[in-house]
Amino acid sequence: MTKREKLAKWWDIITYGNSRKYVGFIAWLFFDSFVASIPSSIMMVAVYYLLAPVLDSSNAYEQKPFWVLVGILLVQTAAYVFIRRKSYLDICVGHVSAQQEDKLNLGNKLRSLPMGFYATHDAGELSTLMMRNYEEIENLSSSVVSNGAVILIRLVIALVVLSIFNVKMTLAMFIVIPLAIPFAVISYKRVANTSAELIAIQQQTAANVIEYTAGITTLQAYDRTGSAFAGLKDSFAKLRDDSKRQEKAGGAVSMYGRAILFLGIAVVMGAGAKLLVSGEITPFFYIMSLLAALQVYEPIMQLFVFVISMARINQCIEKLSSLRSKRELAVPEHPKTTDRSDIEFSDVHFAYDGRNEIIKGISFTIPERKFVALVGASGSGKTTIARLLARFWDIQQGKISIGGTDITDMTQEHLLSKISMVFQDVYLFRDTIENNIRIGKPEATHEEIVNAAKAAACHEFIQSLPNGYDTMIGEGGSTLSGGEKQRISIARAILSDAPIVFLDEATASLDPENEVLIQQAIDELVKNKTVLVIAHRLHSVMNADDIIVLDNGSIIEEGTHSELIAKGGKYAALWKNQQNAGSWKIA
């Protein structure tokens, strides 16, 4: 990518893809700044009229010029109210609305990325990008670039106006600025060099905080809260050290650069004295130049600080740009739909990294309203097959179809509307129980939600809670038991009423009482549905219409329970092992 293309992408990000509107925003800020600076200019003119009789005894004080200046200030006040209101609204409404729209677009981007993206990007990285890094970009967009542009424009105007009166005095005022620029450049490079490392440790710290809080129950159970916190503490310490190092990296501009600019006041004073003695400038212009120097150097110092901020923010922009360039799941140009629910995998090949195949040429068919189970050792590809059906990833070769329609020819919304998924590891959101169930059907009425809960055998325990269906659930469902979470998940799936049901062994790791209740809920869920089950306990799929045995990403056996037992192959061996394990007792 060329520098011009990088600059274009950088500009597109900080203007939220609307550069014309953003330039208008900067223009209003300039008008705001310009009108706000008028009183200081009026004060200089007023000082001139006050000093004129002192400098020249032939001049007498006149009230008229002062009344004119008062009138100008009144007009300025009215203009300032109008312009300030406009610029304020641009910031609070226009600019913030653009930010929110951009965040929503980024959210849609994340929603449309394949699951493979999330396998390589943890929650700490994404939360840092969406919160801390995005805030940095918002700061750049709303203040650094806009205020920097205003400062530059005002400096140019000051340069032109002062040059009209006396070029030598103007050069004396601006000659020190190039001497301070190298310090800004050095600081920019140093901050840029440390920014990548700082952002990395910010992401790592965020990930460690999420991991520590999510696993606090396990850590407490094994009395490891102290030792585990040591790692988190180290992350905080490194974050502190890296932050201090970056602040020191930008110290040159804040110390040496400011010192040089303050030296400029002495240069202006000395040069002005010489020009005053030679008669090239008047005493009034000399006094005004000294006052103007203070107003010129401070904005330049602020401008240099903005430059340093841009060095830090550039890393954030690169991260955001990288995210936006990620390839989304392809959207069909002419999407198709289907009313059927039969499933077919035809010579499907898939690799997470595009090279090492996890699924190796698998082909099978699930007729409508049939019950098919996938069994095999861990890592054999069971869960991958089910998630390929939901198009969490795109396959490299072959075809997956529902009702004879390739799933890549469907919109993701239509595809997922046909599938209800119940995973072994249930995740519930920090919201009410009713809203967690409503995820299955956002427009559902309260009555429909209650009926789904009854079908999932969770209505009674919900009613026993203090606030019933309005009871708030802890993040991840932490305030509920495993069986309760599982039944709410099944209620969610029942509510969606999708024709295809995918179950990732929903009764695994549950106590017998909960297993019976959940099995009743599952029986209600799968009525008249096409069912695909990942089975760990083989006795739960004995009545399946078809059992597919996987090993290392390939189908090695297929048939009913009795047929596979009769073959005496891999399935029969797994069945025998589980039967023996079930009869195991402590002596």
In this predicted structure, what is the pLDDT of residue 434? Answer: 93
Average pLDDT over residues 29-38: 75
- Quick one: 376 exposed, middle or buried, by C-beta within 10 A (0-12, 13-18, 19+)? buried
More confident: 196 or 241:
241
- pLDDT > 70 in the chain, percent: 83
Note the pLDDT of residue 409: 93
pLDDT at 585 over 50: no
What is the spatial order of strands in the sheet that 343-350 belongs to?
359-366, 343-350, 397-402, 405-406
Cα distances from 396 to residues 160, 258, 388, 403, in angstroms, run 64, 59, 11, 21
Amino acid of residue 115:
M
Which regions of 456-514 does DSSP assign to beta strands (E)?
500-504
Name the DSSP letter for residue 456.
Answer: T
Q: What is the pLDDT of residues 348-406, one digit of tens each?
A: 999 887 678 889 999 999 999 999 999 988 888 888 898 899 888 889 899 999 999 99
- Per-residue pLDDT at 13 exceeds 50: yes
Please tell me the least confidently modeled range out of 184-198, 360-374, 404-418. Answer: 184-198
Listed in order, strand segments (DSSP E) in 132-288 are: none
Which residue type sits at 196? Answer: A
Mean per-residue pLDDT for 425-449?
89
Give the pLDDT of residue 564: 92
Mean pLDDT is lowest, of 39-48, 270-279, 486-495, 519-528, for: 39-48
Confidence band for 586, pLDDT divided at 50, 70 and 90: very low
Which amino acid appears at position 7 of this protein?
A: L
State yes or no: pLDDT of 192 exceeds 60. Answer: yes
Specify the pLDDT at position 350: 92
The H or E element spanning position 241 is helix 225-249
pLDDT the model gives residue 485: 86
Per DSSP, the three-state class of 3 is helix
CB 308 within 8 A of CB 250: yes
Mean pLDDT of 40-45: 74
Q: Rounded to an integer, what distance in angstroms lies between the CA atom of residue 229 and that of residue 480?
A: 26
Contact present, 19 and 9 (Cβ < 8 Å): no
The per-residue pLDDT of the chain, averaged, comes to 80
Mapping DSSP onto H, E and C, the string for 505-549 reads CCCCCCCHHHHHHHHHHHHHHCCCCEEEEECCCHHHHCCCCEEEE
Extract the tokens encoding 415.
């595809």
480 pLDDT higher than 70:
yes
310-329 per-position pLDDT tens digit:
777 777 777 777 788 788 87
- Mean pLDDT of the region 524-528: 82
The predicted model gives 197-215 an average pLDDT of 71
For residue 161, name the pLDDT band (cuts at 50, 70, 90).
confident
- Strand partners of residue 420: 501
Phi-psi group of 431: left, alpha or beta (phi > 0 → left; psi -120 to 50 → alpha; rest → beta): beta
Of residues 363 and 265, the one with the higher pLDDT is: 363
Say whether pLDDT at 529 is over 50: yes
Instruction: Give the pLDDT score at 224.
Output: 61
Q: Give the model's pLDDT for residue 226.
A: 65
Among 81-85, 292-296, 466-470, where is mean pLDDT lowest? 292-296
Tokens coding 250: 């930008």
Residue-wise pLDDT tens digits, 90-137: 766 666 777 777 778 888 888 788 777 776 776 667 777 777 777 777
Q: Which domains does the chain have, with CATH numbers?
A: 165-327 (1.20.1560.10), 343-582 (3.40.50.300)
pLDDT confidence of residue 470? 93
Look up the pTM and report it: 0.65
Least trusted range by pLDDT, from 305-309, 340-344, 378-382: 305-309
Return the minimum-mean-pLDDT range out of 59-63, 275-279, 436-440, 494-498. Answer: 59-63
pLDDT score at 407: 93
pLDDT band at 563 (very low <50, low <70, confident <90, very high): very high
